[in-house]
A and B are shown apart, each in its own frame.
Chain A
Amino acid sequence: MKKFTTFDGLVAPLDRANVDTDAIIPKQFLKSIKRSGFGPNLFDEWRYLDVGEPDADNSGRPLNKDFVLNQARYQGASVLLARDNFGCGSSREHAPWALEDYGFKVIIAPSFADIFFNNCFKNGLLPIVLDEAIVDDFFKAAQASEGYQLAVNLEKQTIATPDGKKMSFEVDAFRKHCLINGLDDIGLTLQHVEEIKAYETDRAKQAPWLFA
């Protein structure tokens, strides 16, 4: 996993609540056995006027000009601004894979769906929960001024606006540690092999049917 520290990112505002994983990456792309290359099909049904297919060339497809990510001013965006309950729906990790592959590093919303939130961290994406009012201000600012950027500092847990305002955000200490150091969860857990074995031995005495 890539290390995550600080960066300045162009903000793209996706002004809808309850954006679900089907919208983030439609189900036909779940047929893939790969974990990369989903970026061109991020928000496929909103982004294109035709229906996308896995492993197809997307370059010649008709674009939906009204969709925010198709507007020239948001090209190269790496901060996605979203509304409540972003990422609801299925547990598919293809959703964070697609967001990450497209180039997003941070998603800011007033709330996220649990499984999606969790999946983000495992794929080098930082989901940030901020007060509805702050998110709303970001929406207004991003829509009003072209090239609106936010500076995200994970180490210090701050976001700075172009006009010099700074606000802090919460992030789980363990998740932060893993993101900053690009650590793999499995490797971390396998440091506790003896404890897992001890648990199993103990548990097999109490509930032997689970190990039959």
Chain B
Amino acid sequence: MAARTLYDKLWDAHVVREDDNGTVLLYIDRQLVHEVTSPQAFEGLRLADRKPWRAGANVATADHNVPTTGLDKGITDPVAKLQVETLGDNCREFGIQEFAMGDIRQGVVHVMGPEQGATLPGMTVVCGDSHTSTHGAFGALAHGIGTSEVEHVMATQCLIQKKSKNMRVEVTGNLTQGATAKDVVLAIIGKIGTAGGTGYAIEFTGDVIRSLSVEGRMTVCNMAIEAGARSGMIAVDDKTIEYFKGRPFSPKGELWNKAAEAWKELHSDDGAVFDCVVTLDGSTIEPQVTWGTSPEMVVSVDQSVPDPAKETDPIKQEGMKKALVYMGLEANTPITDIKIDKAFIGSCTNSRIEDLRAAAEIAKGRKVASNVMLALIVPGSGLVKAQAEKEGLDKIFIEAGFEWREPGCSMCLAMNADRLESGERCASTSNRNFEGRQGNGGRTHLVSPAMAAAAAIAGHFININALKAL
């Protein structure tokens, strides 16, 4: 057989049928469900009198709308409350397992899935959420879908798909400048742009990717969609297999051995052909900070806000000018001169235990600056929160002046009460800095957990290496 890419292998293993025009019915092993994009899908099933094809292939949790404080009071926003309750009602009616608010397993859907072993290597994974690309970190084919497709997968366990092209993004060398997985993926997006991956499935490879922990790889794949690719993926290695050992949904006993054996094949063959290859030198990647309203508007922390006057493409120049106005920034301002009002450490990009450890390392023995009015730590799931508390991270954060919250999407998209007010500036570990994303008029700078903690401590952006040296 010809040499195949990881994406080719995952794709081939899931083709149910193929039409002459290349449209494929692709089998879906796992669907993750949350409250925002599912109510209309369940409603559709009810209206057409359809049942889930395999109820057990779906796992649900509430995350986007849940409050991160005062859980005992429940949800106070009646519209959000109805949506979360509707998820519970629908899951009961259709026989779908849900980790509801208050269950320790509840959390951001992309943190919960792998944590439970509900997403596994070699699976096709979908969810009505674009950051489903996260699950590609384990050699799975995972991407976000719309609500019509959520309904389609529930009813048929399949998706109507066309194959994407193959792109390889290789990050060579070592990370030497204090950069983390988040900085790697921001640097990649800075290089290829937010539409660079459109039409492609990206496989991230190279020594830097190999050296990342499984959680770090999730951070990278999480933002594949920010580079325009519906799915990002990373080959399986021993770390991946180790990660899934003993998780609640992971195979057990003889099945485990069989699965682990099969997973070892989940990598691109030598000589597999990619339609596009991009290479970055990991040793040149410094801690990154976005300055604009698109994740591609990113520079290293020691650089300055770029000058639109130096951009030759008129459409890009216009976009930069608009972004600077929205962000309230002047061209050529050193990034380290930018003061922040709030900091947010959380989201499906960076809310796992390693992220919290990295932030705590910076916070330990230091204090949040007086100009920072809110520094939020929102763990990705109840289990992450419990683990952090076991390690005493909560105390470090509280001692330093951070707020320690309950799991959920929180200020990543500000559907609950956690948000920026107009004009407020935030160092955020989330994945989108679009206008209004964290609250109307709010200004988001995307950074790694360590960089967000450092900005909260210094009151402005600062290179973590410089902060550590203080």
Contacts from A to B (Cβ < 8 Å): 16-18, 20, 22-23, 26-28, 30-35, 45, 51, 54-55, 83-85, 88-93, 96, 111, 113-115, 118-119, 122-123, 172-174, 185-186, 188-190, 192, 195-196, 199-200, 203, 206-210, 212
Smallest CB-CB A-B distances: 8 pairs: A209-B251, A91-B144, A33-B39, A93-B146, A119-B146, A122-B148, A93-B147, A35-B40
B428 at the A/B interface (Cβ < 8 Å)? no
- Asked if A89 and B435 make an inter-chain contact with CB atoms under 8 angstroms apart, the answer reads no
Q: Which one of B99-107, B150-158, B366-374, B381-389 is at the A interface?
A: B150-158
- 8 Å CB contact of A91 from B16, B83, B146: B146
Is B247 in contact with chain A by the CB < 8 A criterion?
no
Q: 21 pairs across A/B with beta carbons < 8 Å?
A: A16-B319, A16-B322, A18-B319, A30-B64, A31-B79, A31-B80, A83-B315, A85-B195, A85-B198, A88-B228, A93-B146, A115-B143, A115-B230, A118-B149, A122-B148, A174-B21, A174-B23, A174-B160, A186-B48, A188-B160, A196-B27
User: Which single member of B16, B21, B258, B319 contacts A208 (CB below 8 Å)?
Assistant: B258
A45 touches B435 (CB 8 A): yes
* B319 in contact with A31 (CB, 8 Å): no
Q: Which residues of A contact B48 (CB under 8 A)?
A: 186
Which residues of A lie under 8 Å from residue B130 when comparing CB positions? 89-91, 115
How far, in Å, is A6 (CB) from chain B's closest CB? 23
Residues of A within 8 A of B329 (CB): none
- Quick one: given A18-B319, A111-B195, A115-B230, are A192 and B16 in contact (CB under 8 Å)? yes
User: Chain B residue with minimal CB distance to A112?
Assistant: B198
Binding site for A on B (CB under 8 A): 13, 16-17, 19, 21, 23, 25, 27, 29, 36-37, 39-40, 43, 48, 50, 53, 64-65, 77, 79-80, 82-83, 86, 120, 122-123, 128-130, 132, 143-149, 151-152, 155-158, 160, 162, 194-195, 198-199, 228-230, 251, 255-256, 258-259, 262, 294, 315, 319, 322, 413-415, 432, 434-437, 440
Asked if residues B434 and A17 are in contact (CB atoms below 8 Å), the reply is: no
Nearest chain B CB to A26 CB, angstrom units: 6
From the candidates B155, B229, B440, name the one contacting A51 in the complex (CB within 8 A). Answer: B440
Contact A30 to B36, CB < 8 A, known contacts A85-B228, A88-B194, A196-B27: yes
Centre residue among A17, A23, A55, A119 by max chain B CB count within 10 A: A17
Q: List residues of chain A with CB within 8 A of the CB of B40.
A: 33-35, 93
Whether the Cβ atoms of B156 and A55 lie closer than 8 Å is no
- B residues less than 8 Å from A22 (CB atoms): 432, 434-437
The answer on a CB contact under 8 Å between A199 and B258 is no
Interfacial chain B residues near A54, Cβ < 8 Å: 79
Question: Which residues of B sit under 8 angstroms from A172, Cβ to Cβ?
Answer: 21, 23, 162
- CB atoms of B434 and A23 under 8 A apart: yes
CB distance from A190 to the nearest CB of B (A): 6
Q: Are A91 and B79 in contact (CB under 8 A)?
A: no
- CB-CB under 8 A from A55, the residues of chain B are 79
Residue from the list B155, B198, B230 in contact with A186, Cβ < 8 A: B155
Return chain A residues, CB-CB under 8 Å to B198: 85, 111, 113-114
In the docked arrangement, what's the CA distance between A92 and B82, Å?
A: 19
Contact at A17–B25, with CB atoms within 8 Å?
Answer: no
Q: For the complex formed, measure the closest distance between the CB of A43 and the CB atoms of chain B, giving whole angstroms.
A: 11
Which of A17, A55, A90 counts the most B-chain CB atoms under 10 A from its CB?
A90
- Bound together, the chains give a CA A206 to CA B261 distance in angstroms of 12
Closest Cβ of chain B to A209, distance in Å, is 4
Q: Which of A89, A174, A207 is B259 in contact with, Cβ under 8 Å?
A: A207
Q: Return the contact of B158 from the options A45, A189, A210 (Cβ within 8 A).
A: A189
User: Count the A-B residue pairs with Cβ separation under 8 angstroms: how many?
Assistant: 177
- Say yes or no: B255 contacts A208, CB within 8 Å: yes
Residues of A contacting B37 with CB < 8 Å?
A: 30, 91-93
Q: Which residues in B have their C-beta under 8 angstroms from that of A33? A: 39-40, 43, 82-83, 86
Determine whether the beta carbon of B156 is less than 8 Å from that of A189: yes
Q: Which among A115, A189, A195, A200 is the interface contact of B146 at CB below 8 angstroms?
A: A115
Residues in B neighbouring A210, C-beta threshold 8 A: 29, 120, 123
Contact at A115–B158, with CB atoms within 8 Å? no
In this complex, which of A18, A32, A122 has the most chain B Cβ atoms within 10 angstroms of its Cβ?
A18
In the complex, what distance in Å separates the CA atom of A26 from the CA atom of B316? Answer: 24
Q: Are B21's CB and A173's CB within 8 A?
A: yes
Which of A96, A114, A119, A189 is B25 in contact with, Cβ under 8 Å? A189
- Flag if B83 contacts A31 (CB, 8 Å): yes
A32 and B79 form a contact (CB under 8 A): yes
A31 CB to closest chain B CB (Å) equals 4
Given the interface contacts A17-B319, A23-B434, A196-B16, does A91 sit within 8 Å of B23 by beta carbon?
no
In angstroms, Cα B43 to Cα A55, docked, is 19
Chain B CB within 10 Å, residue with most, of A18, A33, A119, A212:
A33
> For residue A196, which residues in chain B have a CB less than 8 angstroms away from its CB?
16, 25, 27, 53, 156-158
Query: With A and B bound together, what is the CA distance between A189 and B156 in angstroms?
Result: 7
Given contact pairs A17-B315, A23-B434, A190-B155, enumerate 9 new A-B contacts (beta carbons under 8 Å): A16-B319, A22-B432, A30-B37, A31-B77, A93-B148, A115-B230, A174-B23, A203-B27, A209-B251
Cβ contacts under 8 Å, B199 to chain A: 114
Contacting residues, chain A, for B195 (C-beta < 8 A): 18, 84-85, 88, 111, 113
CB contacts (< 8 Å) of A123 on chain B: these are 148
Q: How far is the CB of B100 from chain A (nearest CB, A)?
A: 17
Which of chain A's residues have a CB closer than 8 A to the CB of B434?
20, 22-23, 89
Is A35 within 8 A of B80, CB to CB? no
Q: Is the CB of B146 within 8 A of A92?
A: yes
> A121 to nearest B CB, angstroms?
9
